[in-house]
């Protein structure tokens, strides 16, 4: 039950109780939860408090309201292990999701400037910008940079709808043996916002990925911008193989 003496607001306590029932399966995906009136009566709280609790879970995309029908538990979003070292295209395919990848900027060899966080800053490297769509909607934008000597000639390879990780493995016989990834919430403008079809005020998940190979440290660097309104992006903790 709810504790009126707790420093946690009553609506947050109720939201947590509903969330526990969702996670335990008491409220399975697609099921209708009790009305706000019923929640208020059962937990002896005001209806506005019950409304705040369901509003919170609607904003988190755990509940959805259907006009004239009530409030229902959302279907679970597809989960994509986007951040394994096996590569992003492979991650979608392993989940059974058909993804179409197109080039926003083709692979080219150039001097990289303008970003001191990029390990190739002020040096020559290959770069490519790719957009992934699911059912015609953009979900992921990748700007990738590759070691110029290690991946010589990669600009002559067709990368449309191909896994870059598989290309590196099959054609260059290289696999990462480690890496680092950092995560933050950010906002996009310019070409990135247009590519992902988001407003400057829309938060997106932004990832920096550094991949190490036996032949070179930080041989691949990528900046990923992910829309999280359609997929849950996860990370598997473990090895660096392609299985």
Domains of the chain from N-terminus onward = 10-73 (1.10.10.10), 79-233 (3.40.1410.10)
Could you tell me the pTM of the whole model? 0.62
Q: Which pLDDT tens digit goes with each residue over 128-185?
A: 999 988 888 898 899 999 999 999 999 998 887 777 887 888 788 888 888 888 889 9
Helix (H, G, I), strand (E, B) or coil at 83: coil
Tens digit of pLDDT per residue, the chain (243 long)? 789 888 889 999 999 899 888 888 899 989 999 999 999 999 999 999 999 999 988 887 789 999 889 999 987 655 444 444 445 665 665 556 677 888 999 999 999 998 999 999 999 999 999 998 888 889 889 999 999 999 999 999 888 777 788 788 878 888 888 888 888 999 998 888 999 998 888 889 898 999 999 999 999 999 999 887 766 665 554 444 443
């Amino acid at each position: 039950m709810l504790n009126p003496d707790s420093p946690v607001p009553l609506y947050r306590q109720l939201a947590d109780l509903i969330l526990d029932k969702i996670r335990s399966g008491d409220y399975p995906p697609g099921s209708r939860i009790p009305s706000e009136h019923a929640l208020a009566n059962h937990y002896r709280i005001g209806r506005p408090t019950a409304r705040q609790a369901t509003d919170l879970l609607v904003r988190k995309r755990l509940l959805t309201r259907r006009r004239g029908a009530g409030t229902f538990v959302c279907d679970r979003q597809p989960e994509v292990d986007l951040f394994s070292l096996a590569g992003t295209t492979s991650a979608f395919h392993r989940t059974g999701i058909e993804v179409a990848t197109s080039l926003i900027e083709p692979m080219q060899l150039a001097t990289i400037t303008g970003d001191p966080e990029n390990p190739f800053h002020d040096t020559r490297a290959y770069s490519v910008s790719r957009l992934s769509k699911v059912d015609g909607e953009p979900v992921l934008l990748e700007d990738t940079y590759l070691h110029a000597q290690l991946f010589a000639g990669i600009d002559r390879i067709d990368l449309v709808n191909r896994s870059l990780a598989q290309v590196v493995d099959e054609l260059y016989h290289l696999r990462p043996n480690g890496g680092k990834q950092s995560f933050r919430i950010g906002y996009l403008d310019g070409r990135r916002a247009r590519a992902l079809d988001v407003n400057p005020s829309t938060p997106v998940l932004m990832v920096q990925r550094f991949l190490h190979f036996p032949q070179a440290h930080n041989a691949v660097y990528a900046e990923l911008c992910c829309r999280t309104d359609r997929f849950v992006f996860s990370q598997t903790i473990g090895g660096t193989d392609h299985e």
